[in-house]
Structure 1
């Protein structure tokens, strides 16, 4: 690929990061638990400073599947608006990551928008394969609906679901599942460069095999861990988001995709399915952007943050 296509400010920001951002492909494939532990230790060793006026707490809820205690990492500013409720899913290829890795971003959203954020520490693959991570998210949604008023003082009738990358996939899958259960509490889904399906055959997926930060090989390994060898090529509802029967029943949607991301074309495909179904949908494909561009300081990130703050609660 021609790396000159990357936005110059973003490229400079990435090059100035003092540590490697690449994933060891051999470890990712054969020893993902090592990467899980490394990411966990890194996040704990580099905490973000919490603003004094934002309360952070962990609430543990039982899984409806097996009773496992699902951790909800909750952010709530002192002057929160009870109508602004955000259910968030972090990224990490289904295999690694935890809510605290984006604490700074959640602090910013809570502060500026006066929102209560419930970030789901869903279980990770390959130890917990599909559908467990989706079911953890759906349990979180149901907890908010049933207990949000009494436990957090929030209006659980107006929920925005937000997720990034694999977390974007989980957010959208939970939204589909909610529609199938006739749950109308989700009013908006905001999907940041979401994973949509496991076909790995779009033009962007075929083109970006050597792109920094996320590429086709990473995506292939992530799906293997998430679905298992026996299912990695199957189209399964809530795993393949295009394998759905009632797009018209989904809420208003915002999708942000990146021009130089292997996930670009499946994001566009999902937006087209929503358009066709009559769902109010906004799609922004950011020129010169890479997957996880928003983790690096640049004018592009600033522009995206303004967009995000203006769209989350419409």
Structure 2
């Protein structure tokens, strides 16, 4: 691709990062547990400073599937608004990542909006394949609804679900599952460059095969780990989000996509499905941005953060 299409300030910020941002494809495919451990060690070695007025704690809840203890990473600012509840799902290609990797973003949201954030440390693939990560998220939602008031002092009737990349897929899948079970506590889903389906055949997926940070090869490996060998091409409800049959029941939706992201066209496709079903939907395709642009200081990130703070809670 023409790398001059990347926003110049964003490009400069990415180039000035003092460590490698690329994923070793061989490790990603054949030894993902090494990348998992590297990401854990990096996050622990580079913690973000916690503001004194934001309490952070972990709550462990049992999985309805097998009793596994799912960790919920809670951010609770002083003077929080009990009507502002954010259920968050981090990114990482289904394979790596943990809530603490975006502590700084969560601190900013909690501080600015006085929101309580429940970040789900869902189980990762390939050790735990689909549907376990989705079910972990659904268990987190049900716990929030059933115990949020008594344990956290929140109004669990008004929940915003937010996820990025693979976490965006999980957030949207949990929202679909909630609608299927006639759970109406989710007011809004905010999906940041979400994964939508596993077809890997959109024009943007075919175009951005050599772009930094996320490309078609990474996406193919991620889906292989998430679904398992032999299931990569199957359209499965809650795996392929376009297979849902009741879009009209979904809540108000905001989708942020990136012009230079392999996931761009599937994000646009999902927004169109929601539009056609009559769901109040806002789509913003950010010019010159690429996947995980929001991890790098730039005017593009600043503009996005302003948008985010204005849109999360309706």
Smaller-chain TM-score range?
Answer: over 0.9
Structure 1 match to 2:113: 113
Displacement of 1:167 in angstroms is 0.1
Structure 1 match to 2:237: 237
Q: Tell me which stretches of 4 or more aligned residues in structure 1 moved more than 4 Å.
A: none
Displacement of 1:230 in angstroms is 1.9
Helix, strand or coil for the counterpart of 2:100? helix
The one-character-per-residue Cα deviations of 1:41-87 (angstroms, maximum 9, x if unpaired) are: 00000000100000000000000000000000000001100000000
The one-character-per-residue Cα deviations of 1:224-279 (angstroms, maximum 9, x if unpaired) are: 00000121110000000000100000000000000000000000000000000000
2:282 corresponds to 1:282: yes
CA distance in 1, matches of 2:55, 2:212: 36
Structure 2 match to 1:29: 29
Displacement of 1:195 in angstroms is 0.1
TM-score (norm 1): 1.00
CA distance in 1, matches of 2:293, 2:50: 23
CA distance in 2, matches of 1:112, 1:230: 45
Number of aligned pairs? 314
The one-character-per-residue Cα deviations of 1:10-32 (angstroms, maximum 9, x if unpaired) are: 00000000000000000000000
The one-character-per-residue Cα deviations of 1:116-171 (angstroms, maximum 9, x if unpaired) are: 00000000000000000000000000000000000000000000000000000000
CA distance in 2, matches of 1:298, 1:263: 21
Structure 1 match to 2:172: 172
Which residues of 2 match residues 1-314 of structure 1 at below 5 A? 1-314=1-314
CA distance in 2, matches of 1:206, 1:16: 28
CA distance in 1, matches of 2:7, 2:278: 34
The one-character-per-residue Cα deviations of 1:161-201 (angstroms, maximum 9, x if unpaired) are: 00000000000000000000000000000000000000000
CA distance in 1, matches of 2:103, 2:142: 23
CA distance in 1, matches of 2:6, 2:89: 27
CA distance in 2, matches of 1:78, 1:114: 8
CA distance in 1, matches of 2:75, 2:294: 20
Q: Runs of 5+ in structure 1 lacking a partner?
A: none
- C-alpha root-mean-square deviation of aligned residues, in Å? 0.3
Displacement of 1:307 in angstroms is 0.0
Q: Runs of 5+ in structure 2 lacking a partner?
A: none
